[in-house]
């Protein structure tokens, strides 16, 4: 109706209204009426956009890999992008008048692929498969510092690598090698466990032997201590015996001295008695026997005198013809003996 139309954009869209080559209105989330025959509208999405990608590249060792990931970006400077790419709406105000809005993600993906190819050319297959974080960091830094992207007013919000896959044949070869490595490590683990068991058993045996040696040493020390104690006891006993023997020897020495002294005294006494007897005998040598007999009979009992008389009679029996002894005399003598 007379070319007057209404447009309303969301907060994630930036709109520019051109009239006679001049910007008369701009901003995000605007709504207004405009006269279509003389107005050009530029609509640029400024919200974040996720762009998935997948492409094949070659590593430094000439192995093909498939890189799958996702790029997240947003338009930070809409006016700068509008000067380089055509985001003008068609006359009816709904679709774009050119294919440039669809080309923007493709440009970013192409630049990402170029950076990825540059990174993978310096990495071998194993390194590429195991260093996805390093690859992501390198690509993100490269995109954020790229002049082409900065000139478009694009801000890179994020980049993620979902997968880096080799060809199926290479994957099977790597799997086989990894499997063999795992089996080899398992065998080494079994060997290490057995070796550890053997070492542990050896340690146990050594500990047992050390314990037995320690026990034997203790027993030997105990025996030595007992022998030392027994030796000390024997030494003490020997010292006691030696002391006893020394005491006995000293006593025997004293006894010997005493016996010698006693013998000397007895000999001296015997000599004295022999001398006295000899002197008496010498004095009596010239004396009449009858006189000596008479002297010895002095002080004798009557019975003794009678016995002495009988003895003399017996000695002179050859001279006596007949001897008569009265019974009264014998009775008297026997009576006296019984009385004593």
Q: Looking at residue 210, what is its pLDDT?
A: 92
Of residues 92, 97, 89, the one with CA closest to residue 5:
92
Name the nearest CA neighbour of 71 among 159, 163, 162. 159
C-alpha distances out from residue 279 to 265, 269, 274, Å? 20, 15, 8
Q: What domains, with CATH codes, occur in the chain? A: 4-166 (3.30.479.30), 300-315+326-339 (no CATH)
Q: 191 is written with which tokens? A: 């060997």
Question: Considering Cα of 117, then 122, then 128, then 133, what sign does the dihedral take?
Answer: negative
Give residue 211's pLDDT: 92
Return d(Cα 194, Cα 199) in angstroms, integer: 8
Ranges in the chain, pLDDT < 70: 1, 283-308, 310, 313-325, 329-330, 332-340
The pLDDT of residue 20 is 85
Cβ distance 41 to 89 under 8 Å? yes
Tokens of residue 10, six digits: 């969301």
Q: What is the pLDDT of residue 244?
A: 87
> In the sheet where 154-166 sits, what is the strand order?
49-58, 64-75, 154-166
For 292-319, the three-class secondary structure string (H helix, E strand, C coil) is HHHHHCCCCCHHHHHHHHHHHHHHCCCC
The predicted structure's pLDDT at residue 291 = 64
Measured N-to-C along each axis, helices 327-339 and 302-315 cross at an angle, to the nearest 10 degrees, of: 130
Do the Cβ atoms of 96 and 89 come closer than 8 Å?
yes
Identify the pLDDT of residue 184: 87
> Which pLDDT score, from 0 to 100, does residue 258 have?
83
- 8: exposed, middle or buried (Cβ count in 10 Å: 0-12, 13-18, 19+): exposed
Tokens 């015996």 sit at which residue?
Answer: 241
CA-based nearest residue to 264, from 274, 254, 256, 276:
256
Please list, in sequence order, all residues whose beta carbon lies within 8 angstroms of the beta carbon of residue 45, skipping any fewer than 6 positions away. 12, 13, 14, 75, 101
**CA gap 134, 127 in Å, rounded:** 10
């Amino acid at each position: 109706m007379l070319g007057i139309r209404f447009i309303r954009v969301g907060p994630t869209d930036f709109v520019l209204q051109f009239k006679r080559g001049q910007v008369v209105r701009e901003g995000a989330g605007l709504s207004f009426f405009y006269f279509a025959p003389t107005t050009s509208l530029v609509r640029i999405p400024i919200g974040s956009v996720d762009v998935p990608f997948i492409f094949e590249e070659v590593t430094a060792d000439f192995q093909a890999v498939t890189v799958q990931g996702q790029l997240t970006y947003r338009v930070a400077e809409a006016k700068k992008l509008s000067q380089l790419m055509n985001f003008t709406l068609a006359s009816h105000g709904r679709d774009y008048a050119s294919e440039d809005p669809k080309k923007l993600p493709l440009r970013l993906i192409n630049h990402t692929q170029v950076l990825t190819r540059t990174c993978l050319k310096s990495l071998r297959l194993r390194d590429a498969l195991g260093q996805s974080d390093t690859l992501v960091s390198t690509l993100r830094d490269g995109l954020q510092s790229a002049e082409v992207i900065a000139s478009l007013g694009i801000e890179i919000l994020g980049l993620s690598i979902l997968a880096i896959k080799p060809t199926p044949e290479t994957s099977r070869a790597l799997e086989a090698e990894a499997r063999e490595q795992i089996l080899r490590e398992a065998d080494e683990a079994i060997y290490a466990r057995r070796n550890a068991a053997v070492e542990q058993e050896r340690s146990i045996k050594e500990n047992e032997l050390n314990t037995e040696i320690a026990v034997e040493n203790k027993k030997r020390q105990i025996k030595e201590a007992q022998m030392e104690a027994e030796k000390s006891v024997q030494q003490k006993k020997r010292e006691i015996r030696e002391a006893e023997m020394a005491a006995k020897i000293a006593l025997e020495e004293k006894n010997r001295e005493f016996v010698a002294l006693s013998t000397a005294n007895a000999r001296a006494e015997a000599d004295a008695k022999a001398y006295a007897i000899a002197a008496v005998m010498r004095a009596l040598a010239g004396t009449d026997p009858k006189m000596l007999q008479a002297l010895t009979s002095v002080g004798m009992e009557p019975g003794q005198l009678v016995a002495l008389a009988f003895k003399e009679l017996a000695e002179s029996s050859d001279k006596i013809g007949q001897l008569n002894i009265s019974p009264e005399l014998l009775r008297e003598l026997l009576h006296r003996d019984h009385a004593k």
